[in-house]
Structure 1
Amino acid sequence: MTDPWILTAAVGAGALAAALGTPTGVSGGLLLLPVLLTAFGLPPTVASATNLLFNIVSTPAGIARHVRQHSLDRRLALLLAGTAAPAAVAGALANVFWLGDSPIFRYLVAGLLVAVGASLLLPRPRGARSARQLAGPAVTASMVVTTVLVVTGLASGALGGFYGLGGAVLAAPAALLVTGWPTSRVAGAALLTTLTVSVTGLATYAVADLAGATRVQTPHWPIGLALGAGGLVGSWLAVRFAPRVPDRLLRTGLAALVVLGALRLAG
């Protein structure tokens, strides 16, 4: 049985991670993975699967809030989530059978976190033209923007399934750069992508486990559910109050936390 104090800490960590990550659409899983590997001491494959479980429990509240506020861009969500879902299967299988339990996993995560942190600080184009094209009819949509977002969805799914981050870790920054939209407009689609990738990825872990595949470990259910319970509260509060925070401040703050997580892993 898991220590109640550990579960309490997990609830708090989930709430804080979701509150910080949800406004930018990357979900709290980005911040939790270093915590699961270091503070909670979970093996890499278990940490990835547990992170996916956290996303499944915590993200629906944020998505529902975006729907009620009419800030979920359905076209962008369908494009990203639809391409990310099948790629998540490949990412999860790569974790199980290839690098998931290797010591190099921590350095791969650290490198990914640094890249994401840097991308959040990049100046975004004044993308009114691209945004109009993406939001318009399919016939007039920019093929370049659409192609970039399809590739982004595929990469997001593969990375999300492998690392247990859900995919929005790449989808949100890339969509922000390509469309030039404000964070609040992209965040809902990115969270829906996270939920889709998390369900697909966790199902892949479960099927591989049932098939008796070697090196497969299921998520740590008590910690994952505790993290998710805290994440429900954190994501709801974030979507409610984040619009009052300047967009640049949101991205800068998250970038700093992401890089700190990377340094913690590599140190």
Structure 2
Amino acid sequence: MLFQTAGIEVAPWLPPLVAFVISFFTSMGGVSGAFLLLPFQMSVLGYTNPSVSATNQVFNIVAIPSGVYRYWREGRMVWPLTLLVIAGTLPGVFAGAFIRIVYLPDPQTFKVFAAGVLGYIGIKMIGELVRGKKANGPDTGGGEQRFQEMVRRYRTRSADRGKTAHAWSPVTVTHFAMRRLGYTFYDERFDVSFWGIFLLSLVVGVIGGIYGIGGGAIIAPFFVSFFGLPVYTVAGAALMGTFVTSVAGVVFYQAIAPFYPDLSVAPDWLLGILFGIGGMAGMYLGARCQKFVSARAIKWMLAGIIILTAAKYFSDFWGR
């Protein structure tokens, strides 16, 4: 099947299948999987035009609502955190899209940028995991043991609550002001800086706008490793923020396409929708299964995928 905007020919069953597999695993960490679909499109399918970023965001628009819906049904959406993410990333994504088109249209230059971003995130996550293991001892340290007990109670409550999914919530917002945001996840209390979250989201919006991922792949690891928030509560907020910024990104790319007639800027809608259909099923199942996977396993999975992707980009650049 020929995708004219992308300039590639692909079997129509391949995009949804790849997106399903990727999204099933990445959605457990609050990541849509777009950051892995982009290297797949560029390195495997040969889709290297700037419009690949916009096509990636079409995938987010189609795929993410199913995952957000699942997190909402299970009462794990921290809405003040979600609003902060959206408020910060939304203006940044416009600046990022402009930078991508004007300063990073060459695929090799873009790959170096993407490899640097992903490499930093992956190394930071691995460092946090290694330091956490040393501090807590071999497999079951104090902090991890308490958290796993919290998760056990969460799973038990999930199994017993019946069909009225939103009649209870394991998350309770304790305060939300211009300085601090706080909430509880069962017996654990979490408190973060309002402006710290906002500024991080703004930077992530710029990077996500350049990369075409909406920012979830960057902001979710930072929430977990830097702010110390549990992955079970940040996943929904990260995905929702990615959805909103992806909508804005696609609108922006589509709007400015006529001003760059010599570049493929607007998304390949058909390809993006096919990816999105597979991602929709993968995210829903991933969000549903997340509570049965340990937080540490999810973090290691994300870190490993990110590092491998960054290494592939660096390899493509140096081997050209």
Query: Given the two structures, how large is their TM-score scaled by the length of structure 2?
Result: 0.76
Which of residues 82, 87, 91 is equivalent to 1:82? 87
Q: Describe the shift of the 1:113–1:178 C-alpha distance in structure 2 as closer, same or farther (beyond 3 A).
A: closer
Aligned to 1:129: none
Aligned Cα root-mean-square deviation (Å): 2.5
1:51 aligns with 2:56: yes
Q: Which has the larger radius of gyration?
A: 2
1:195 aligns with 2:195: no
Q: Distance in 2 between matches of 1:44 and 1:113?
A: 20
Q: Describe the shift of the 1:215–1:95 C-alpha distance in structure 2 as closer, same or farther (beyond 3 A).
A: same
Aligned to 2:252: 204
Cα deviation digits, residues 80-127 of structure 1 (max 9, x gap): 11111111011001111111335211111112121122233324797x
Query: Structure 2 unaligned runs (5+)?
Result: 4-8, 136-142, 144-170, 182-190, 316-320
Moved more, 230-239 or 92-101: 92-101
1:138 aligns with 2:186: no
Post-superposition offset of 1:250: 0.7
Aligned to 2:310: 262
Query: Structure 1 unaligned runs (5+)?
Result: 127-131
After the TM superposition, which segments of 4 or more aligned residues of structure 1 sit over 6 Å from their partners? none
Aligned to 1:170: 218
Q: Describe the shift of the 1:257–1:212 C-alpha distance in structure 2 as closer, same or farther (beyond 3 A).
A: closer
Moved more, 152-161 or 211-220: 211-220
Post-superposition offset of 1:181: 2.3
Higher helix share: 1
8 Å CA contact 1:44–1:105 kept in 2: the answer is no
Which of residues 154, 166, 173 is equivalent to 2:202? 154
SS at match of 1:231: helix
Q: Distance in 2 between matches of 1:51 and 1:205?
A: 12
Aligned to 2:102: 97
Q: Distance in 2 between matches of 1:208 and 1:181?
A: 37
Q: Structure 2 matches for 1:223-262, cutoff 5 A? A: 223-262=271-310
Post-superposition offset of 1:44: 4.4
8 Å CA contact 1:117–1:255 kept in 2: the answer is yes
8 Å CA contact 2:67–2:284 kept in 1: the answer is yes
Aligned to 1:108: 113
Q: Describe the shift of the 1:248–1:171 C-alpha distance in structure 2 as closer, same or farther (beyond 3 A).
A: same
SS at match of 1:6: coil
8 Å CA contact 1:34–1:262 kept in 2: the answer is no
Higher strand share: 2
